[in-house]
Chain A
Amino acid sequence: MSDNGLSARDLSVYYGNKQAVKDISLDFAAREVTALIGPSGCGKSTFLRSLNRMNDLIGGARITGEIWIEGQNINDPSVDVVLLRQKIGMVWQRPNPFHKSIYENIAFGPRYHGIKNKKELDGIVESSLRKAALWEETKDRLHQSALALSGGQQQRLCIARSLAVKPSIILMDEPASALDPVSTAKIEELIAELKRDYCIIIVTHNMHQAARISDKTAFFYMGELVECDDTQKMFTNPSKKQTDDYISGRFG
């Protein structure tokens, strides 16, 4: 339980009577990229969404277990979910910028959290865009609609948007799977840069991607955590046969 990292203990997610995620315990360290892999429907996205309490939005979903961030268990009804979510950023599979200008997309969050000074906001917009490797491409059109950007640019905008509220953890749910190979490469480059400052947890169905960009990998199957280890070791010499089968493509 390092600070700026995240730990899950016996985390389970139930949709009605069906248990989609079964007693997962995992540690995610700061300044590290952890990839969650597994076949479709294995619960990795559900697990990811529980970490910032996004599953609360689904009626009938019940999450048990503990999620520890900075010494607090945030899976507790008394925790203020709104404040919590500021500490954890999220990026989705399909880019979902707001129907606003590029500037507004990024400034929206910080402004809500209390930063009203225009110069400060300008600074945050610039630094977030720089961090997302998007500044050069957008600095001359900050007030144009975000929807005019290409898919890959929109996704980097979404990353910049999540960075602007200064999270310590970033969750990514298949962030490049809807993008072309060139954009995908740029996103992967970006992740490698970002991990110097953030704890990144990324769900991916692309094992080569997991091997390329992550430090640790966790293999999920049917809602359970089968194995979690250093990426190098996972892909060359996994401990469980199931993991080996999946990685070498014998199923999944």
Chain B
Amino acid sequence: MSAKLANRIATVVIIAMALFIVAILVGLLGYILIRGLGHVSFDFLTSVPQTIRAGGGIGPQLFNSLFLLVLTLLITVPLGVGAGIYMSEYAKANRFTDFIRLVVEVLSSFPSIVVGLFGLLVLVQFFGLGYSLFAGALALTVFNLPLMVRITEQAIRSVPKEQKEASLALGLSRWKTITSIMLPIAMPNILTGTILASGRVFGEAAALLFTAGMSSPRLDFTNWNPFSPNSPLNPFRPAETLAVHIWKINSEGLAPDAAEIAAGASAVLVIVVLLFNFTARFIGGYIHRKFTASK
């Protein structure tokens, strides 16, 4: 086969593969949205699931997913930013720093089901938190932390050195330089990264099966007292999230419209995750334009 012919065949094959991948995505999204969106209604989004009858909704699960995301971010962001600041500003080039990098790498490679098991053992059983939002949030923190650390470290490292030096040269302390000069400049990147990470957290299920649990108590949405067991804001109650719910329906769905509910819930889940991704991209692009324009 001549080289030219091989080149042409290869090019065709490569382009075909690329198109194939696009087709997979389009097909995937198309299937979920077409199959699921029809079932999504306001009623669907707000009513409780039914175990045996048709007509169940995903209201509590949707709320749980959102609330759990907020709780997780409240814990993960300060920890991740702190660790990221350490890695970019305080860490010296020594074995200890290499060790921390190894720790972060291993932690990010752990299967999320193992993280969930760890949560079951330590948080649910050992610390006695029971199946709860709080246990779920801590498990998700472990799952999400390596990404946050990486995002923050990269963001801070990308701050121009001269900004830091200018602040130090004025006689400001290192910490004040980090908080008042470097973090504000790094913030857009940290924000974009956090939004992307939120998408991952929102769709995560394996780590939550045995921590946040697979059930949700009757929620009284008029009760905003976080200490009351029926209040949606109580972090110590079990909280089945949307993603977990989809899995549960597919494995134990007894209602006659289980497939429709799973499709509808999947559509909602995918749309929310896509929203996160688009928002992150949009903000990232906006900030980039603002920065490069003002110079």
Contacts and interface: CB of A to CB of B under 8 A. Distances in A.
Q: Do chains A and B touch in the complex (CB under 8 A)?
A: yes
A108 B181 CA distance: 10
A147 B170 contact: no
Contact of B163 (A82, A96, A112, A145): A96
A249 to B, nearest CB: 31
Given A99-B184, A112-B176, A162 B169 contact: yes
Given A92-B162, A145-B294, A99 B185 contact: yes
Contacts of B93: 59
Contacts of B180: 108
Determine the interface band of chain B, counting residues with CB < 8 A from chain A. 20 to 34
Nearest to A147: B294
A238 interface: no
Interface in A81-130: 82-86, 88-90, 92, 94, 96-99, 108-109, 112-113
Contact of B170 (A57, A59, A94, A109): A109
A165 B294 contact: no
A92 B165 contact: yes
A54 B170 contact: no
B166 interface: yes
B251 interface: no
Contacts, number: 65
A98 B165 contact: no
Given A59-B93, A148-B294, A96 B166 contact: yes
A158 interface: yes
Interface in B142-186: 160, 162-173, 176, 180-181, 184-185
A239 B184 CA distance: 52
Nearest to A158: B166
A139 B176 CA distance: 28
Size bin of chain A's contact surface? 20 to 34
B172 A90 contact: no
A52 B169 contact: yes
A54 B165 contact: yes
Contacts of A98: 163, 166-167, 181
B213 to A, nearest CB: 45
A57 B161 CA distance: 10
Given A82-B173, A113-B171, A94 B162 contact: yes
Given A59-B93, A96-B163, A147-B295, A54 B172 contact: no
Given A99-B184, A147-B294, A148-B294, A165 B163 contact: no
User: Which among B166, B167, B176 has the highest number of chain A CB atoms within 10 Å?
Assistant: B166
A112 B170 CA distance: 9
Nearest to B167: A98
A162 B171 CA distance: 10
Nearest to B184: A99
Nearest to A94: B162
User: Could you say which of A83, A84, A86, A98 has the most chain B C-beta atoms within 10 Å of its C-beta?
Assistant: A98
Contacts of A82: 171-173
B92 interface: yes
A3 B160 CA distance: 35
Given A94-B162, A98-B163, A99-B184, A85 B294 contact: no
Contacts of B162: 92, 94, 96
Contact of A109 (B92, B163, B171): B171
Given A86-B171, A109-B172, 19 more contacts: A82-B171, A82-B173, A85-B171, A86-B170, A90-B165, A90-B169, A92-B165, A92-B166, A94-B162, A96-B163, A98-B163, A98-B166, A98-B181, A108-B170, A112-B171, A112-B172, A112-B176, A147-B294, A147-B295
24 contacts: A54-B169, A57-B164, A57-B168, A84-B171, A85-B170, A85-B171, A86-B170, A89-B169, A90-B165, A90-B166, A96-B162, A96-B165, A98-B163, A98-B166, A98-B167, A98-B181, A108-B167, A108-B170, A108-B180, A109-B170, A109-B171, A112-B176, A147-B294, A161-B166
Interface of B: 92-93, 160, 162-173, 176, 180-181, 184-185, 294-295
Interface of A: 52, 54, 57, 59, 82-86, 88-90, 92, 94, 96-99, 108-109, 112-113, 145, 147-148, 158, 161-162, 165
